[in-house]
Each structure stands twice: as C-alpha cells, then as structure tokens.
C-alpha cells in the first residue's frame, strides 16, 4: 500500500511504495483508508490556510478530511492547533456553516454535510472516554439518542441558534456597539432588539423587565455604554420559562418575524453599500452621436 507523505521543502505530496528506502515517520490511517505520514502535515495545514482555503482533501482520492481529522493525522500540538485556528477564525464568517467551535473545549469542528445538525468533537470524545456530540445550531451537547435527527433534544434550540448566529451591531457611536443584534430577556426569555439610541438599558417588550443589553445586568439603574460594562457572551436559552407573548404568536411565527426583520436590515445595508459604491465610481463621459 502506498504511503502519502508531504515534503515541506518542495511543498508537494509524495506517494511512497514498498520500494522506498528512506525512513518513514509515524503513520496514520485516514478516513478514506489511505496511509498518511504525520511528519510535515503541520506545514501543509498552514500552507492551505494561508492561501485562504478551509477544505482539506486527500491528495490521492480527493475525499474531504474534516479539520478535526486533519489535526489528528498531523499530530498537531496545542500550540500548532491554536495557531491554525487563529487563521481559521480570520477567514471564516458568521455565515459560514461549516466551522463551529465546540461548546465544551472551544476548538473548531468542521462538518461537510450542512443538513446534518450533529457533530462530534474528537478531542472531547477522547478526554471524556465517550463520544461527545453537540448541536451545530444551538451549540449545546446533543441530547437526542438519534444523532441523525433534525432535533438535538434541547429546549428552544431554534431560539438559541438565532441568538448564537445573529449579526453583530456595528454602529460605532451606539452604546451597544459590538453586541449581538438579538438578546433574550433574562427574566422571560423573549427575544428582543435594541433601538441603537440612548444608553444600553432596555425594557423587555413582553414583561417590562429592565436589563442592560451589553452585560445583561438586571439593575434598573445600571448605565453601561462605550466606557461602561463589558459585553456578555451570546446567550443560550432553556425554553423552560413560561410567558405569554404580547401578540400571542407561537414560537415558529415569533422566530420568523425576527428572522425576517434581520434579513430586511441586511438587505438594506447591502443596498446602501451598493449605492455608495456606485456614487464613488467616476462618471463616464457621455458621447454624442458620431463621436468616438
């Protein structure tokens, strides 16, 4: 059987056979069945990422190797993996659904099938001595015995997914600059947004509970702002709190309203950017008939 080896100096793969007389380092079997030499793969990882690519393929059969598998094949140290994942964080966006950080260890996990919600974290599985699977939507441990299901078994998964994946507020002079666009009321878990004006405090439209949109503090006299409190992490809601929505919408309709609002805001921002880009273009001279 051939051995796949990466030559860092020439930046290319070699396919070694039994006739090869040189020394071979540690060998690992990839998911595609090919034998891979670990030595040098760390340089290959860096080269692929530095070119802005996030897909790693077997050089022999072109089957995709997931990032967590690449880390195992290359025997990356913690320092090497952290360095590579810093590059991944720079070239990925919130809209990228193929990479997510494991909620347990914080390392990146990749998936190829975007329709599959469950994903296994190999380092956590090794540490816990059991398979650790989490939901790619709400970023919580998978509770459903069926890992192929479209439901992870956690309460309010769709709400948490929106809280985890919504855009970040990018209004420099706003008190809530850098916060997620959507927050859940700490008291009743109703999803709400900030008007982007005034201080960071907000009154829940459902229960009138006052909290800080930045740190989620509950003090009515709390005054955050640009020089005030720190921004709390994105929330995960339990769905266990009982409340009545003001418009008596069910969960799916309520979520649809918020998603539609966010989509409209994103389209408006893109339209404004397009208009600015067009305005910055130099005007083309108009030619009269017969002119060149």
Q: Is the pTM of this model over 0.75?
A: no
Return d(Cα 105, Cα 180) in angstroms, integer. Answer: 22
**Which domains, ranges and CATH numbers included, belong to the chain?**
2-89 (3.30.40), 93-154 (no CATH), 157-221+229-276 (no CATH)
Q: What is the residue-wise DSSP string for 93-148?
A: -TT--SEEE-TTT--EEE-S-TT--EEE-HHHHHHHTS--EEETTT-SB---S-TT
In tens digits, the chain (292 residues) has pLDDT values of 788 888 888 888 988 876 665 666 788 899 999 999 888 898 999 888 888 888 899 999 999 898 989 999 999 888 898 888 888 877 776 446 788 888 888 888 988 777 788 889 988 998 889 999 999 888 889 989 998 888 888 878 888 888 887 888 988 888 899 999 999 988 888 888 898 888 888 888 878 888 999 999 875 556 555 556 888 889 888 776 644 444 445 556 566 656 655 665 555 555 545 444 444 444 444 444 444 3
Rounded distance between C-alpha atoms, residue 4 and residue 196, angstroms: 55
Instruction: Report whether 109 contacts 141 (CB < 8 A).
Output: no
């Amino acid at each position: 059987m051939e051995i796949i080896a990466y030559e860092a100096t020439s930046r290319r793969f070699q396919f070694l056979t039994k006739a090869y007389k040189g020394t071979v380092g540690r060998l690992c079997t990839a998911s595609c069945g090919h034998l891979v030499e670990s030595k040098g793969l760390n340089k290959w990882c860096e080269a692929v990422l530095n070119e802005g690519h996030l897909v790693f393929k077997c050089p022999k059969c072109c089957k995709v190797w997931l990032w967590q598998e690449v880390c195992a094949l290359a025997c990356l140290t913690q320092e090497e993996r952290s360095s590579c994942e810093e590059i991944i964080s720079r070239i990925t966006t919130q809209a990228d659904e193929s990479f997510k950080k494991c909620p347990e260890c914080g390392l990146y996990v990749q998936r190829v099938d975007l329709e599959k919600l469950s994903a296994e974290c190999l380092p956590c599985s090794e540490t816990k001595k059991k398979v650790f699977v989490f939901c790619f939507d709400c970023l919580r441990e998978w509770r459903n015995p069926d890992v192929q299901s479209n439901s992870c078994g956690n309460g309010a998964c769709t709400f948490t997914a929106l809280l985890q994946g919504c855009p970040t507020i990018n209004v420099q002079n706003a008190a809530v600059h850098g916060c997620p666009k959507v927050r859940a009321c700490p008291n009743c878990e109703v999803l709400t947004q900030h008007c982007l004006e005034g201080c960071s405090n907000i009154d829940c439209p459902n229960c009138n509970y006052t909290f800080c949109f930045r740190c989620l503090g509950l003090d009515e006299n709390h005054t955050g702002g640009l020089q005030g409190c720190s921004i709390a992490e994105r929330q995960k809601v339990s769905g266990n709190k009982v409340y009545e929505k003001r418009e008596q919408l069910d969960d799916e309709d309520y979520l649809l309203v918020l998603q539609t609002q966010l989509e409209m805001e994103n389209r408006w921002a893109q339209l404004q950017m397009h208009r600015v880009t067009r305005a910055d273009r130099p005007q083309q001279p108009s030619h009269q008939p017969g002119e060149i």
